Amino acid sequence: MPSASITTRKSKGGGRRYAVRFRIGGRAFPVQHGGSFKTEREAKERLRFVSGELAAGRDPSLALRALLETPARRTLREHFDTFMESRVDVGGKTQALYGNAQSRLRSLAGLQPQEITPAHVQAWIAENSAASEHFPALAPKSLGHYLSTLRQVLDFCDVTPNPARSPKVKLPERIREEVSPPRSDEWQAIRANLSKRLLLVARLIECDALRVSEALGLTYGDIDFAGQRLRISRARTKGRTAGQRWLPVPLELLDEIAELVPLEDRHRDRLVFPRITENQVRDHIYRACRDAGIAAYSPHDLRHRRCSLWYADIRDAVGLIKWSGHSRPSMLLDTYAHVVLDPAEDEWRGFWQAAYAAERAPGVVPVWSQPTEVGRDAAA
């Protein structure tokens, strides 16, 4: 049976040494060394440990050997990789956000998660708030996203308390600027300088206030040519909830979409705008702004333009969120109520007035391509 004992021996200097010996079984098992100590008290502590391991049915030599081994050092950057691989529940955009946060770890990258303190996190926020030779300054909104990711990674590493959640950690003040979408003359200049390949998708974004991802995610199953409308499905909209909606589409744009692919090839899952990426749309619009000699605008500014024109002309935030995809009317009001754009210069003004009137009138079938009296008056 297993046994453990303390053996006393004399050292070369004339003193005593207390050695712990043990067997993991009967006499068939060799006697193993459990450590040598100057004092009997230390030897008894080791004996208690060895006896406890034997009583639990474990080999004490394995635990003693682990005390001598240097534990593998895993940095926060390495834990980031493990965390990202484990998040099978998130989409590609969220994974890209995690990757962006990992690329801005900077001073935290080489630390172990257990070494990080609130002071380290605050210093990381400060260094990312200022521009350096290799890193541009991050906006407070981006820092907030990256800090949220850091908190998740430290939670994943079971760091308690989480230093990134400390009340000592402060983000820079976030000043929300009013949106400044392109005016009608600027939009016409952008259109004139856009390539033919990107023109239709840009016009659709501007006309229906689509997000870029929503426009590029459209399939022919989302286009109702007979009803003259398109669907933003739950799976392809921001947040996958509030943005789900049906939107009327002018017949002119529907005809151009119909010309892209013959009727017999319009499979339900076929993309309307294949081989076009968000970066391509963004770069082409920036290039068109440069060639037109105007301020640079993003594709999302075209969405801002349409939402601003809707509110300036109709002023019904509750009704308009069915088109804009905002979850609350207050979001539309806070963002677009103060934007100055003249709806009289909008090429789709009559169309949207007719669509709004058709949706508000009981018992009226909303055929949006045929303007009502309101639309004719506006067009006149």
Residue with tokens 């541009």: 136
Given a cut of 80, whether residue 235 has pLDDT beyond it is: no
- The ranges of the chain annotated as CATH 1.10.150.130 are 76-165
Section 230-247 average pLDDT? 77
Q: Residue 15 has what pLDDT?
A: 86
Taking only the tens place, the pLDDT of each residue in 163-175 is 999 999 999 988 7
> What are phi and psi for residue 56, nearest 5 degrees?
-85, 0
Task: For residues 28 and 207, give the distance between their C-alpha atoms in angstroms, rounded to a whole number.
Answer: 87
Specify the residue for token string 């068109």. Answer: 288
Structure tokens at 241: 């909830």
Residue with more model confidence, 215 or 1: 215
Distance CA 243, CA 260 (A): 26
Please determine, for residue 117, whether its predicted confidence score (pLDDT) is greater than 50: yes
CA angle 370/371/374 to nearest 5° reads: 160
| In the chain, ranges of CATH 1.10.443.10 domains | 184-379
Rounded (5°) CA angle 201-204-206 = 110
| Residue 378: pLDDT over 50 | no
- Residue by residue, DSSP assigns 269-326 as T-BSSTT--HHHHHHHHHHHHHHHTS----HHHHHHHHHHHHHHHH--HHHHHHHH--
pLDDT of residue 26: 86
Nearest-angstrom CA–CA distance, 301 and 323:
16
- Give me the chain's average pLDDT, please: 90
Express as a percent the part of the chain with pLDDT over 90. 73
Q: What is the pLDDT of residues 356-370, one digit of tens each?
A: 998 887 655 555 444
CATH superfamily of 76-165: Tyrosine recombinase, N-terminal domain (1.10.150.130)
Give the residue ranges of DSSP H helices in the chain.
40-55, 60-68, 76-86, 92-103, 118-129, 140-156, 184-193, 196-208, 212-216, 251-258, 278-292, 299-314, 317-324, 329-336, 349-360, 373-379
- Cβ atoms of 288 and 193 within 8 Å: the answer is yes
Euclidean distance between CA atoms 217 and 202, whole angstroms: 14
Supply the pTM of this predicted model.
Answer: 0.67
User: Hey, how many other C-beta atoms are within 10 angstroms of the C-beta on 192?
Assistant: 11
How does pLDDT run across 210-233, given as a tens digit for each residue?
A: 999 999 999 999 999 999 999 998
Q: Check whether the bond before 161 is cis (ω within 30° of 0).
A: yes
Distance from C-alpha of 70 to C-alpha of 369, rounded to nearest angstrom: 74
**CATH class of the domain defined by 184-379:** mainly alpha
Are 224 and 230 in contact by the 8 Å Cβ rule? The answer is: yes
Question: What tokens appear for 23 in the block?
Answer: 């067997």
Find the largest Cα–Cα distance for the chain.
Answer: 115
Q: Tell me how long the chain is.
A: 380
- CA separation (Å) from 138 to 100, 128, 145, 177, 313? 11, 6, 11, 16, 36
Q: Classify 121 as helix, strand or coil.
A: helix
- pLDDT of 208 over the 70 cut: yes
Tell me: pLDDT of 374 over 60: no
- Per-residue model confidence (pLDDT) at position 103: 95
Task: Give the residue-averaged pLDDT of 4-10.
Answer: 91
